[in-house]
Amino acid sequence: MLVSSNSPICEGQTLNLTGGPNAMISYAWTGPNSFSSTQQNPNINNATTAASGVYTLSVTDNNNCNSSATVNVLVAQQPTVTASANTPICEGQTLQLSANNIVGVSYVWNGPGSYSSNQQNPGIPGVSLSNNGTYTVTASIGSCTSNSSVNVTVHPIPVVTLIKEDDTCMLSLGIVQSNISNGANPINYLWNTGATTANLVNVSAGIYSLTVTDANNCVNTASVSVLNLEIECVFFVYVANAFTPNADGVNDIIPVHGRGVEQVKFTIFNRWGNKVFETNQLNDGWDGTFKGEPQNSGLFVYMLEGTFINGKTFKENGDIVLIK
């Protein structure tokens, strides 16, 4: 006699048992989980893993002769897989796909652009916008399969363009402007100077780097070199020879004027040699008072010394006339 089944099958499927020969007086099946049947070819619908094991068929023919045979059945556990990913991510980052661990399972991933991998947790480095889409993992144990999908979003990184105007004569006249495209607003700015503005003004020669972060937390960096252009670089200082401190808003103070001055010391003395004013600040002038008292019209002497930004020093003296 002959017995067989459609084993192996997956749990939830139908187990088909087949017995022979035909035209027997009786058929008696027994098996796991207290299974019994008098059908020649019984079925077990929605089989579970408890249906795995040895099934025995006993038959009786017309001569009342008995015979038996066995068949081994396997009902495999249906895998349940769950797909996940580190989405959303930014262009250039690594997409990490993940599936839960199931013992004895083989994995196959499929995704956009004919992507395929048989790893459980594959990574895709340096992703681009073409990696957007749905990724599906299939977990298989024999003929038993389970599918799960995850939708992946890849955000574009902001494109950073820097436009510069070079410095002139070391006067910190440089400008760096930024132009941001593709980024999701709001944009956060961080320069290597510590500034958080979109543009830099009054900068000296040097390398300036800007890192921008958009609303999707995507980051990009750009750098530009600001040069110092030595074009007609004439540095100078001068002090007027007279002023009128009469509170009319015109020539009420006498300061030091100049270009390219890095350090300065400006001192004024009266005719008796008393120091009536001193400053280390350019454009910080004397108002014609001494110890809080207005000085009379007369001649005063000044001494001026300092250093230009190119390292050259200056030193001079002269007369100032206070006029009332």
**Per residue in 128-163, pLDDT tens?**
999 999 999 999 987 789 999 999 999 999 999 999
Report pLDDT for 214.
97
CA distance 64 to 37: 19
Distance between terminal CA atoms of the chain? 137
**Per residue in 283-302, pLDDT tens?**
899 999 999 999 999 999 99
- The helix/strand/coil state of 201 is strand
201's tokens: 């003004």
**Per residue in 167-201, pLDDT tens?**
777 777 789 999 999 999 999 999 999 999 999 99
The number of angstroms, rounded, from the C-alpha of 303 to the middle of its chain's C-alpha atoms is 58
Our CA angle for 125, 128, 130, nearest 5°, is 120
CA distance 73 to 76: 10
Following DSSP, what letter does each residue of 85-100 receive, concatenated? E--SEETTS-EEEEE-
**Per residue in 57-90, pLDDT tens?**
999 999 999 999 999 999 988 899 999 999 999 9
Report pLDDT for 274.
93
- Under the banding of pLDDT at 50, 70 and 90, the label for residue 232 is low
Domains annotated on the chain, with CATH? 2-76 (2.60.40.10), 83-155 (2.60.40.10), 159-229 (2.60.40.10), 236-322 (2.60.40.1220)
Report pLDDT for 324.
85
Q: What is the pTM of this model?
A: 0.62
CA distance 252 to 315: 25
